[in-house]
Amino acid sequence: MNAKSRGRFITFEGIDGAGKSTQIALLVDALRARGRGVLRTREPGGTELGEKLRELLLGMDMHPDTEAMLMFAARREHLAVVIEPALATGAWVVSDRFSDATHAYQVGGRGLAAARCDTLEAWTHPGFAPDLTFLFDISPESAARRLAAAGTAPDRFECEQRDFFARVRAAYLDRARREPARFRVLDATRKPEAIAAEITASIDEKTWP
Ligand code: TYD
């Protein structure tokens, strides 16, 4: 019998308030309707340890280096306990954020040296990257209006100023320009149905390695 083929790793990225969550739920439903086994997860988090680290990361002030290292510590556990085992069974893993978020938020937003982030990434997952990444692009002003309308209590990142999110957005777009085969940049200001249609079309049209 042939070994079961490996699953696919799909990530969603964008600044806070870009509207990822709704689209993640729609994609998971669409993949399941196509008969795929799907695991939905998130970062920071996704494991018992990772969710504890998430509470600290979203709630406590800390040095930017500490923040980056904890993001990758949570990610290491996430890969070992959840992502790798699921992909090995042939499941599709859909994650709300992954390492692009550390490059965008900690390097772009906080000013962490890019080389440090590259080193942590090379340690945590050498040679491993998402198969496909959806980047939800929106201006910090529109995203802030959405967050305000949602009315939920802001976490430590959501309390940041517009210029922080402008830097995070620019860092995301820069990564997307460098890896056009992996990224799909979506205009996140469009109607949810239009965005969902573009996402499922990207999945159906992609030539998987
Ligand atoms: P998010 O998925 O947006 O959570 P929610 O929708 O519940 O607010 O992410 C949590 C926050 O963590 C978000 O502000 C981005 C930040 N973050 C980083 O700064 N670096 C990272 O590497 C990751 C994964 C997230």
**What are the start-end ranges of the H helices in the chain?**
20-33, 48-59, 64-78, 84-88, 99-101, 114-124, 140-150, 162-178, 192-205
pLDDT given at position 3: 56
pLDDT given at position 207: 85
How far does residue 74's CA lie from ligand 1's centre (Å)?
12
Least confident of 67-76, 86-95, 124-133, 149-158: 149-158
How far does residue 44's CA lie from ligand 1's centre (Å)?
6
Over residues 144-170, the mean pLDDT reads: 94
What residue's CA is closest to ligand 1, atom 20?
A: 102
How far does residue 175's CA lie from ligand 1's centre (Å)?
17
CA gap 76, 89 in Å, rounded: 19
pTM for the whole structure: 0.96
Contact status, residue 61 vs residue 70, Cβ threshold 8 Å: no
Which residues surround ligand 1 with Cβ inside 6 Å?
Answer: 16, 21, 42-44, 71, 96-97, 101-102, 105-106, 155, 157
How far does residue 43's CA lie from ligand 1's centre (Å)?
7
Give the pair of three-digit tokens for residue 95: 């994650």
Over residues 29-38, the mean pLDDT reads: 96
pLDDT given at position 2: 47
Write the single-letter amino acid at 182. R
